[in-house]
Amino acid sequence: MKVYKTSEIRNAALIGGAKSGKTTMAEAMLLEGKVISRKGAIEDKNTVSDYKPIEQEREHSVHSVLLHTFYDNKKINLLDVPGFADYVGETIATLNVTDTALLLVNTQAGVEATTETAWRQTVAANSPVVFVMNQLDHHAANFDDAVNSVKDYFGDKVTIVQYPVNTGENFDTIIDLVLMKQLKYKAGGGEPEISDIPEAEMAKAEELQLKLIENAAEGDEALMEKYFENDTLTIDEMREGLRLGLITRAIFPVMVSSAKQGVGVSRLLDFISKSCPAPDDMPSRKTTDGKEFHCSIDEPPALFIFKTSIEQHLGEVSYFKVYGGEISEGMDMINPRTGNKERITQLFALNGKSRDKIEKVEAGDIVSTIKLKDVQTGDTLLDPKNADAGFEPFTLPNPLYTVAIKAVNSADDEKLGTLLNEMHKTDPSLGIEFSRELKQLLIKSQGEFHVNTVKWYLTKANGLEVEIFVPKVPYRETITKIADASYRHKKQSGGSGQFGEVHMRIQPYVEGYKKPTDFPVRGTEEHDLPWGGKLIFNNCIVGGAIDARFMPAIMKGIMERMTEGPLTGSYARDIIVYVYDG
pLDDT 10s digits, 281-296 = 999 999 999 999 999 9
Planar angle of CA 43, 45, 47, nearest 5 degrees? 105
Beta bridge partners of 77: 11, 68
Burial of 58 (0-12, 13-18, 19+ CB in 10 A): middle
The pLDDT tens digits of the residues spanning 358-370 come to 999 999 999 999 9
Give the CA radius of gyration of the chain. Answer: 31
User: φ and ψ at 452, to 5 degrees?
Assistant: -65, -35
Averaged pLDDT score across all residues of the chain: 94
Q: How far apart, in whole angstroms, are the C-alpha atoms of residue 582 and residue 575?
A: 20
What confidence tens digit (pLDDT) does each residue in 202-248 have?
A: 999 999 999 999 999 998 999 999 999 999 999 999 999 999 999 99
110-124, 157-171, 504-518: segment of lowest average pLDDT: 504-518
Question: Of 129-133, 147-151, 514-518, where does mean pLDDT reach its minimum?
Answer: 514-518
| 393-397, 466-470, 501-505: the lowest-pLDDT one | 501-505
When pLDDT is cut at 50, 70 and 90, the band that residue 487 belongs to is confident
DSSP-based three-state secondary structure for 163: strand
Q: Does the pLDDT value for residue 567 go beyond 80?
A: yes
Residue 582: Cβ-neighbour burial (10 angstroms; 0-12, 13-18, 19+)? middle
Domains of the chain: 8-210+247-281 (3.40.50.300), 285-386 (2.40.30.10), 401-469 (3.30.70.870), 476-581 (3.30.230.10)
Q: Give the count of alpha carbons within 13 A of 246, CB side only.
A: 27
Nearest alpha carbon to residue 11 among 349, 291, 328, 301: 349
Q: Could you say which DSSP state residue 294 is in?
A: -
Section 44-50 average pLDDT:
94
Question: Over 80: is that where the pLDDT of 494 sits?
Answer: no
Average pLDDT of the residues in 570-579: 92
- DSSP states along 491-523: E-SSSS-EEEEEEEEEEE--TTPPPPSSS---E
- Share above pLDDT 70 across residues of the chain, in percent, rounded to a whole number: 99
Long-range pairs for 232-237 at CB < 8 Å and ≥24 separation? Answer: 235/178, 235/179
Q: Which residue has the higher pLDDT, 540 or 324?
A: 324
pLDDT band (50, 70, 90) for residue 495? low
Over the stretch 433-484, which tens digit does the pLDDT of each residue have? Answer: 999 888 899 999 999 999 999 999 999 999 999 999 999 988 899 999 999 9
- The upper half-sphere exposure of residue 518, i.e. CA atoms within 13 Å in the direction of its Cβ, equals 7
Q: Which of 316, 343, 319, 321 is nearest to 391 (CA)?
A: 321
State whether residue 342 is helix, strand or coil. strand
Cβ atoms of 75 and 365 closer than 8 Å: yes
Closest C-alpha among 513, 517, 553, 555 to residue 537 = 555
Helices and strands, counts by H and E, the chain: 12, 34
pLDDT bracket for residue 189 (50, 70, 90): confident
pLDDT at res. 493: 61
Among the ranges given (80-89, 299-308, 487-496), the one the predictor scored with the smallest mean pLDDT: 487-496
Amino acid 245: pLDDT: 97
Contact 419, 432 (CB under 8 A): no
Q: How far apart are CA 39 and CA 262, in angstroms?
A: 10
10-27 pLDDT tens trace? 999 999 998 999 999 999
The pLDDT value recorded for residue 499 is 76
Q: For residue range 24-39, list pLDDT tens digits in order.
A: 999 999 999 999 999 9
Identify the three-state secondary structure at position 208: helix
Report the b/e string of 32-51 with b at 16+ CB within 10 A: bbebbeebbebeeeebbbbb
Position 549 scores a pLDDT of: 86
Nearest C-alpha neighbor of 26 from the set 88, 72, 69, 70: 69
In terms of C-beta density within 10 A (0-12 exposed, 13-18 middle, 19 or more buried), how is residue 234 classed?
Answer: exposed
Residues 6 or more apart from 537 whose CB is under 8 A from it?
524, 525, 526, 527, 555, 558, 577, 579
- For the cut 70, the answer to whether the pLDDT of residue 492 exceeds it is no
Amino acid at 55: E
> Can you give the pLDDT at residue 28?
97
